[in-house]
Each structure stands twice: as C-alpha cells, then as structure tokens.
Amino acid sequence: MSLTLEHYLLLSAALFTIGAVGLVTRRNVIVLFMCVEIMLNAANLALIAFSRFHLMADGQMFAFCVMAVAAAEAGIGLAIMVNIFRHKKSLLVDDLNVFKN
C-alpha cells in the first residue's frame, strides 16, 4: 500500500479542523490570525496534492495566489492590531466590543 491522494486530503482536513477549532476557542487576536494561516495552509496542501494527482501545475498557481493573499492579509491585519492595541491596550476579543449595544 503506497501513498494515495486520500492520505494528503485527510492530513489537509485534519489541519483545517485544528485551525477552525482554534478560531472558535482562542481569545487572542494574533492567535486567531495564526489559526487562519493554518486553515489557508491546509487548503494549499489539498490544492498541491490535487495538482500532483492530475500532473497539472494549475493547482500550484492557486496555492501561489493563496500565499500572496495571506501575506497581504497578515500585513494589513497586523497593522490593524497595532492600532487596536494602541487604543484599547488589549488584544483579547472579549475586550473589543465597541459595536456592542
């Protein structure tokens, strides 16, 4: 029994699940961002596995674009976080309730 597409897809699903769970359970905004990165990487792994399966490089193009989007997202998101910390002195999602009431 050799490696199949299934192995990589199951690994991708497991990583995505870990990221989703972290997104629900953690409170720190920066850790939430890291969980989003985990989920993006899980999607990348599935894309690259399919690319290998069909021997077409298009899947790797998708993964490449996902990486660029993740880089832009991290840059802007962390800038926003620095601003939030400057105003609220906290990075916990519980404290970020300006829109409440």
Q: Which of residues 10-39 bind other proteins (CB under 8 A)?
A: 10-22, 24-28, 30-31, 33-35, 37-38
Rounded Cα distance, 87 and 78, in Å: 14
CB of 98 to other proteins, least distance (A): 16
CB of 80 to other proteins, least distance (A): 6
CB of 32 to other proteins, least distance (A): 10
- HEC letters along 32-97: HHHHHHHHHHHHHHHHHHHHHHHCCCHHHHHHHHHHHHHHHHHHHHHHHHHHHHHHHCCCEHHHCC
Q: Is 98 in the site for other proteins (CB under 8 A)?
A: no
Q: Is 88 in the site for other proteins (CB under 8 A)?
A: no
